[in-house]
Structure 1
Amino acid sequence: MRSRRTFLQPLPLALAGLVLFLLPFLLLGSHSFITIHDNLDTEIGSPYLLNKFRVVFDYRPTAVMPSIMNGLPRNALRSGLNPTVWLFGMFPPWAAYLVNQALVRLLGLLGMWALLRRRWLPGPRRRWLAAGLAVAWATLPIYSMYGLTVLGQPALLLAVLRLRAGRGGWWPWLLVAAFPVWSFFVFVGPFLAGAAAGLALYDAFYGRRAAALRVGAAAALLALMYVVVEWPLFYSLLVTQQFVSHRVEHDLLRTVAFGLGPGLRSAANFLLLGQYHSSQFFRGALVLAVLAALAWGRGGWRVAARRLAPWVAGMVAVALFCGFVLQAVAVVQHRLPLLHAFNLTRLGFLLPLASFGVLALSLRLLPGRRHTVAALLVATQLFIGLLMNAEWTNNLRELAGCPKKAQPTYAQYVAAPLFEKINTYLTQRTSMAPSGYRVGCLGFAPAVAQLNDFYTLDSNQNSYPLSYKHQFRPLIAGELAKDPALATYFDAWGNRCYFFSHELGRDFLVPAKPVRTVQDWALDAAAFRKMGGRFIFSAARLASPARSGLRPVADFADARAYWRIYVYEVAEPAP
């Protein structure tokens, strides 16, 4: 009887709910849908290659990733202290991704549960609400490759609050020290350390000296651990610059929409939906909870308004900052070079937790007789998060046998059997392993070729040498000249250092069927050959490859792959 009562406690059931959420991924395995944009086409290849080339902890200035961009500096990639990188050394990429996601969501659930029960929703009558909100938090649409950057914030907040109160012993210090290991400094580090420092100053101003010292020490520990974990980044920025990043040419004057209207629309998006990297979900449950608290809250609407106003005002202020900051930065970007290193709109990464804080506080204000209303609000938040979680919904569709069009699974996207055919054929043709030549990719992300152990001249990177960008541009100059929008995309931003086609635009998901044909593609074959390029892998057929200095080699198809790959070889120069 006791074991039954134990199981029917809120936390075990919340954990069971998380298992059910993860079940589609477990059942599908490598046939799971995994978010492609800025994830499968970018983030997953990096830890795989770090382990493959055994440079996880090689921070020497001379260390490079040979299969990316003719030797991308190793220190342009993520820290070797990040546990996500370790998982990719233990499992195949698809399995490492799923294990990483399960761990991140589990720790997120436990952190939110602890914060709710100790601070936001204490008391025996609210434990089921806390369990439901913890599940809703753990199943939000997030980029799990960013580790605990978002979902780990409740545990960090609870640790800081415990330190502020002088309780908790050693574990809050451990949590503060551990958070930077599995989170990204460039996304949340400056804002979290700044918020803790601001709280310390607030306490000092009101004479709470002991609390101010403890919180200030926590802020210092957090910053110090980020320096330790991200030492290559800080060393390059503050001591000796290993390379000049292409980010110095980010030109907001050419990429940002100016004016009151665009700024307000951006702010409204941050407030009501959020930015997709930091978790994009409609804040409808939050709005309903605030209205419910104003209508039925204990003490009347004035008490509810007084309690909720600082939170809501803070969220609005953050949203307005994120909506307009890029316009302000654009004006001074050339006078403050460090602004190129950090995107200040990433302050929006704090909004998901703030949203749940407002939701929890609104639920707390509701009297006991409104428990059903509170439960419905929690269920609404859970439903919204699940509905907007594209990975989860697409995998349900996959299990049901009606997959979403143009949303390939991991196995279809990476297409290992297809690229194994290409590798075998080219090895026989050239008597060289893939390391003996370089390829370029058209119509699909170079990460696909990289995950299949080819060496690409193109890639999608948050930071790479500016000199390489300038060296690469002549290869695609003909296509950029045909499309001013593509030219701006590359010249004023350039993270995607790709082989563009003005006919394909920014379509990097060209499927096997129907066959797409590029009628006129401009490539500087001589510059391509000079950089070591030998083959172009194209997901679209080239109607006139000879105009680009190419000759057809073969095309490859596989029923299990999303792609049909046309291979072209750069022609030898005339004698």
Structure 2
Amino acid sequence: MVYVAPRGATYILIDDNLDTELAPPFALLQEGKALDYRSATVVERLMNGLPRNALRPGLQPLVGLMALLDPLPAYLLHELLVRLAGLVGMYLLLRRYGLPGAGRATLCAALALAWAVLPTYTAYGVSVLGQPWVVLALLNLRRGRGHWSDWLMLVGFALWSSLVLTGLFVLAVAALVLIWDAVRYGQVAWRPVLGVGLLALSYLLVEYPLVYSLLIERQFVSHRVEFDYARLAPGGVGAGLSGAARYFGLGQYHAGLFPRAAPLLAAGLALAYRPASPARQQLAQRLMLSLSILVVVALFCGFYPQLIGVAQRVVPLLRAFNLSRIHFLTPLLWFGVLVLSLRYLPPGRLPLVLVGLQLLIGLGMNPEWTLNVRRLLGRLPATEPTYAAYVAPALFARIQQDIQARTGQRPAQYRVACLGFAPAVATLNGFYTLDAYQNNYPLRYKRQFRPLIAAELAKSPALQTYFDAWGNRCYLFSAELGKNFRVGAFPARVVNEWAFDARAFHRLGGRYVLSAAKLRHPARSGLQLLESRTAPGAYWRIWVYQVRN
């Protein structure tokens, strides 16, 4: 209920979420190209014609919901469904395999709730919270013939999750476990093997745009081939160990950033409670195996920039893949440590207290939850705008109207780029942008766009590395603003000198720069000020600059 607010005055995650995940499906749907996978199809609203197959599949539920609803209610309903799926999937897994038996239903329900509120990015669907369904289905298939619902769980997970974020790692880990199972028992469990095969086949069908563009007809060379993780992260053993400690103790914010205190405390208490016995030895062995795997994963992720920096010189294709995303599997493994420990604790209040601790940690680390509570209390930070304030539809509608009144042009007839705020805001308001936050787009376009900002990148080695070695944020940069992509109206910001190549911008079709900061000398950037606008409730004051003739 904390998310409920009139006229879009609710808070949703902005960084790597509202500033990137809603605009592409919105653009796809506005152009009627969500299910158009032809190689020649481009999305005109993004990056001067972004290949459609660089974007997410049209079969994913978030896209379907956005076809029926406006972006905000679609996002909120999608989040509710994702978390309900996580709740039910974890509860069923716990009741059947994790904590079976009479008298544990309440504990299972509480633990499932703690799982469902984890601060994971739900725009990625059930990539994290839906993993219990995969485990449940494969265990059911391993135990018996399996029901039709088990096969459906695997298809549903592929439909509602991301292949590149979790799918590849789920498939790889499931395959390794089945190989170990076959070696251990001397026979192959064919039903779960077929289940993994069905999951892989389902991903191939759902992620058809990606698979087609990579394996069948290579439509473009991705900008990801120039990723250089070694330049992006500090090197050295100290940096690697620090990163590993963060991955082990906290995780990663996309997959679920929360202190692992409850599982570790539960493990310690379970070992302390059990006297020296075969049961205690078995618990210790299982905990050691689980924690060892988590340590290895944390070390791999912490040292990944250094490791990949060496490996990509040998295998350049590795630049395009981020293998450290295996951390998307670690929240479930940590809950496995918690569940294992709870099984060895005596029934009573202690298990519920530990689960309650995990629930409070999950809620406390979930920024959407905490910031919406603060909003209800009238204490939302000024730097964290609500959806309505961030997207500011009335403000950008007025800017469109003014441009049309002045030139007679509708948004499809010109291109804009944004300074000081995410281009996704302009996209969600119907503008056609040259800039965007995309994790996959043509390298050719990155090289066409770079001259616009080359002089500003030259002023800032940090921004130059940020764009050249990564570049998912194909933005207009200012060395004075740095990585501040949320320049609010108050206090107003002024950029004293902005070295912008207006001619290169014009060659790409750019006509207007929408800036959240005032340019002190726009003429030196080849621009002229047309107007400055804000609107009641808007987070921004927007200065509209036109390329000078």
2:82 is the counterpart of 1:104 = yes
Q: 2:248 maps to which residue?
A: 271
Give the one of 422, 431, 441 matched to 1:445.
Answer: 422
2:184 is the counterpart of 1:184 = no
Give the one of 116, 120, 135 matched to 1:138.
Answer: 116
Give the one of 433, 456, 459 matched to 2:436.
Answer: 459
2:308 is the counterpart of 1:319 = no
Deviation at 1:341, TM superposition (A): 2.9
Q: 2:395 maps to which residue?
A: 418
CA distance in 1, matches of 2:469, 2:301: 20
Alignment of 1:28-47 (within 5 A): 30-47=8-25
Alignment of 1:179-218 (within 5 A): 179-211=157-189, 213-218=190-195
Give the one of 90, 99, 103 matched to 1:125.
Answer: 103
Deviation at 1:208, TM superposition (A): 4.8
Alignment of 1:506-517 (within 5 A): 506-517=483-494
8 Å CA contact 1:297–1:304 kept in 2: the answer is: no
2:103 is the counterpart of 1:154 = no
2:334 is the counterpart of 1:334 = no
Deviates more, 1:233-242 or 1:141-150: 233-242
2:259 is the counterpart of 1:282 = yes
CA distance in 1, matches of 2:232, 2:18: 25
8 Å CA contact 1:298–1:366 kept in 2: the answer is: no
2:385 is the counterpart of 1:385 = no
CA distance in 1, matches of 2:545, 2:148: 61
Give the one of 518, 521, 526 matched to 1:549.
Answer: 526
Deviation at 1:219, TM superposition (A): 1.6
Deviation at 1:325, TM superposition (A): 2.8
- Label 1:505 to 1:156 Cα distance change in 2 as closer, same or farther (>3 A): same
CA distance in 2, matches of 1:209, 1:303: 25
CA distance in 2, matches of 1:162, 1:93: 37
Any unmatched runs of 5+ in structure 1?
1-22
Deviation at 1:487, TM superposition (A): 0.6
Q: TM-score, normalised by structure 2?
A: 0.97
CA distance in 2, matches of 1:80, 1:441: 27
Give the one of 379, 382, 399 matched to 1:402.
Answer: 379
AA matched with 2:106: W
Deviation at 1:531, TM superposition (A): 0.9
Query: Could you report, residue by residue, the CA deviation over 1:67-117 in whole angstroms, capped at 9, with x for unpaired residues?
Result: 111000010100011111100101000000000000000011000000111
8 Å CA contact 2:145–2:191 kept in 1: the answer is: no
CA distance in 2, matches of 1:73, 1:564: 32
- Label 1:350 to 1:394 Cα distance change in 2 as closer, same or farther (>3 A): same
Any unmatched runs of 5+ in structure 2?
none
AA matched with 2:300: F
- Label 1:267 to 1:541 Cα distance change in 2 as closer, same or farther (>3 A): same
Give the one of 245, 248, 260 matched to 2:222.
Answer: 245
CA distance in 1, matches of 2:363, 2:262: 13
CA distance in 1, matches of 2:464, 2:147: 56
CA distance in 2, matches of 1:375, 1:286: 13
CA distance in 2, matches of 1:197, 1:288: 31
8 Å CA contact 2:532–2:544 kept in 1: the answer is: yes
CA distance in 2, matches of 1:99, 1:253: 39
Deviation at 1:44, TM superposition (A): 0.8
Deviation at 1:386, TM superposition (A): 0.4
Deviation at 1:281, TM superposition (A): 0.9
8 Å CA contact 1:326–1:344 kept in 2: the answer is: no
CA distance in 1, matches of 2:293, 2:345: 22
Give 3-state SS (helix, strand or coil) of 2:532's partner. Answer: strand
Give the one of 29, 39, 46 matched to 1:51.
Answer: 29
CA distance in 2, matches of 1:203, 1:456: 52
CA distance in 1, matches of 2:423, 2:411: 14
8 Å CA contact 1:199–1:215 kept in 2: the answer is: no
Aligned length: 547
CA distance in 2, matches of 1:342, 1:108: 27
CA distance in 2, matches of 1:297, 1:61: 62
Give 3-state SS (helix, strand or coil) of 1:347's partner. Answer: helix
Deviation at 1:257, TM superposition (A): 2.3
Deviation at 1:298, TM superposition (A): 6.8
- Label 1:208 to 1:178 Cα distance change in 2 as closer, same or farther (>3 A): farther
CA distance in 1, matches of 2:426, 2:327: 33
Give 3-state SS (helix, strand or coil) of 1:568's partner. Answer: strand
CA distance in 2, matches of 1:114, 1:436: 53
Give the one of 116, 125, 141 matched to 2:94.
Answer: 116
8 Å CA contact 2:229–2:309 kept in 1: the answer is: yes
Identity, % of aligned pairs? 52
Q: 1:304 maps to which residue?
A: 283
8 Å CA contact 1:146–1:183 kept in 2: the answer is: yes
Deviation at 1:234, TM superposition (A): 1.5
Give 3-state SS (helix, strand or coil) of 1:439's partner. Answer: strand
Q: TM-score, normalised by structure 1?
A: 0.93
8 Å CA contact 2:534–2:540 kept in 1: the answer is: yes
Deviation at 1:412, TM superposition (A): 0.3
2:508 is the counterpart of 1:531 = yes
Give 3-state SS (helix, strand or coil) of 1:124's partner. Answer: coil
8 Å CA contact 1:442–1:538 kept in 2: the answer is: yes
Q: 1:352 maps to which residue?
A: 331
Query: Could you report, residue by residue, the CA deviation over 1:519-568 in whole angstroms, capped at 9, with x for unpaired residues?
Result: 00011111111111111100001000010011110000112100000011
Deviation at 1:258, TM superposition (A): 2.1
Pairwise CA RMSD of aligned residues? Answer: 1.3
CA distance in 1, matches of 2:275, 2:127: 35
